[in-house]
Amino acid sequence: MNSLLDNPFIATFDRLEEFADLISQVLHCPITIEDANHRLLAYSTHDERTDPARISTIISRRVPEKVINQLWKEGIIPALNQSKKPIRIKNMNEIGLGRRVAISIWLQDEVIGYIWALEIDKILTEQELGLLIKAADSVKNKLLQLQTHKKKKEERFQEFFWQLLTGHVKRKEEMIEHFQLLQITPQNYFSILVFHFQQTISSKQEQNLSYFFKTSSRLEILLYTIDHDKLILLVSASSKDKLLAALDQFIKKFKCQMKERFGISKLEPAYSNIYEDYQKIKKAYQEALTVLTIKGKFPFETVSIDSYQKLGIYQYFDLLLEKRKRENYENVSIKMLHEYDKKHQSNLVETLEVFLTNDTNMNDTAKELNVHTNTLIYRLKRISEIAGINLKNPNEKMMLFLDLKLEKYQQN
């Protein structure tokens, strides 16, 4: 049976700060306790010895992003997430991190936090490292209470966000009241950002995503939720320009770190127009989904497009298609080319589409079709003859481009 001599951490405590102070007194070094997302939960207060990284953590209540990134690069955080033993960390003066020991706090098979012990004037002995293991075991129940409370709060966030996305919160006053209750402060402008994953997002991936959001300071994320294979975020900024710049930077970093840290390489981003009126969240969500739909149907044409604003003519495909169906319209020239292709096992329709998609650039078209330029010239001449098309007429080219894309849009 444990006694205080064997384990000084079995005593009960009301606040995590008391526990941090107790560890500091036992090990004679500064202590910080963080949650799994590196947000500061408590720190010892009776020791003035510290380093710049610890000072920044205490001031901002979270570990600086540059420190987290370096710890990932050094393999320290991955090691902490796999081991229940203390891990010694060397000096990293370039990020203001002094020598320290870290240990993860486990609840069954999940890391729910970390304890960091600074080794400024001393090196922890094997016996003291054993005490650090006991401290990590003793604090887990307190962290579980905090985690349960946090989970209930996040569930309220999720419910509110889905009400916004589906348009069930219509009145501005009701929306403001919800934001205030959840202690969310929206800035002047917002957008809906959606990431489409290749498969349904697992619970482990969801933890990784939550971790990334809470350790990144590049974009203000007001709310986020997951819908099967889609991650949906409400992001905001004080100006349109700031939000657009932050979105582009965030998307690049998100894709890069998902691949480097968690092995997730295939995901497609899409975001809506920038709005001021938060009552347009439902509209913004539909715009982001439209971008994903178009990118799925036209991957080559939209490879560099992430935003609704940059979709151009593709924004109107649903309206154009509805008009075409209502009028029972059929492009006779394209129909004639399809019939010719079917009869002669040729690919004139494909040639025409690639030609128009490449803005009638002969070299780019020949390269994409993997044919000689002379072969392409011959095919274009046959297309003009068979279908009665004037490929120098911009009006005809635009109509052919739209009808070919609408045909492809229906097929996919």
> Domain residues of the chain, as ranges?
16-145, 166-314, 330-411
- Per-residue confidence (pLDDT) for residue 4, from 0 to 100: 54
Residue 362: pLDDT band (50, 70, 90) is very high
Residue 247: pLDDT band (50, 70, 90) is very high
* CATH 1.10.10.2840 holds for 330-411: yes
Distance from C-alpha of 221 to C-alpha of 298, rounded to nearest angstrom: 29
Burial (CB < 10 A; 0-12, 13-18, 19+), residue 387, is buried
- Residue 374 clears pLDDT 70, i.e. is over it: yes
Q: Are strands 267-271 and 220-227 parallel, antiparallel or unpaired?
A: unpaired
Distance from C-alpha of 66 to C-alpha of 75, rounded to nearest angstrom: 14
| CATH class, range 166-314 | alpha beta
Q: Which range among 68-77, 188-197, 260-269 has the greatest average pLDDT?
A: 188-197
Predicted structure pTM score: 0.68
pLDDT per residue over 179-235, tens digit each? 888 888 889 999 999 999 988 888 788 888 888 887 776 788 899 888 889 999 999
- In sign, the C-alpha dihedral spanning 54, 55, 57, 61 is positive
* Ranges of H-type helices in 345-393: 348-357, 362-369, 373-387
Q: What is the mean pLDDT of residues 383-391?
A: 91
Distance from C-alpha of 305 to C-alpha of 303, rounded to nearest angstrom: 6
- Per-residue confidence (pLDDT) for residue 151, from 0 to 100: 64
pLDDT per residue over 74-100, tens digit each? 899 989 999 999 999 999 999 999 999
- CB count, 10 Å around CB of 300? 8
Q: In what order do the strands lie in the sheet with 87-89?
A: 40-43, 31-35, 110-118, 100-107, 87-89
Q: What is the mean pLDDT of residues 279-294?
A: 94
Q: Are 56 and 62 in contact (CB under 8 A)?
A: no
- Residue 117 clears pLDDT 90, i.e. is over it: yes
CA distance readout (Å), 222 to 191, 233, 262, 282, 348: 10, 8, 24, 15, 50
Distance from C-alpha of 102 to C-alpha of 104, rounded to nearest angstrom: 7
Residue 169: pLDDT band (50, 70, 90) is confident
DSSP character at residue 176: H
Q: What is the mean pLDDT of residues 34-51?
A: 86
The CATH superfamily label for domain 16-145 reads GAF domain (3.30.450.40)
Name the token pair of 135: 């401290």
pLDDT per residue over 345-360, tens digit each? 999 999 999 999 998 9
Distance from C-alpha of 263 to C-alpha of 255, rounded to nearest angstrom: 10
Which residues sit opposite 87 in a β-bridge? 102
CA distance readout (Å), 160 to 19, 150, 183, 206, 234: 35, 16, 13, 19, 12
Distance from C-alpha of 231 to C-alpha of 270, rounded to nearest angstrom: 10
Q: What is the mean pLDDT of residues 16-26?
A: 91
Residues contacting 349, CB < 8 A, separation 6+: 334, 337, 338, 341, 404
Give backbone dihedrals phi and psi of 8, rounded to 5 degrees, phi first. -70, 0
- Residue 3 clears pLDDT 60, i.e. is over it: no
Distance from C-alpha of 404 to C-alpha of 313, rounded to nearest angstrom: 13
Apex 251 CA angle, 246 and 252, nearest 5: 105
> 362-371 contacts: CB < 8 A, separation 24 or more?
none
* Best CA proximity match to 39, nearest among 211, 221, 181: 211
Q: Are 189 and 276 in contact (CB under 8 A)?
A: yes
Which residues sit opposite 97 in a β-bridge? 92
Distance from C-alpha of 258 to C-alpha of 209, rounded to nearest angstrom: 8
pLDDT per residue over 307-318, tens digit each? 999 998 888 888
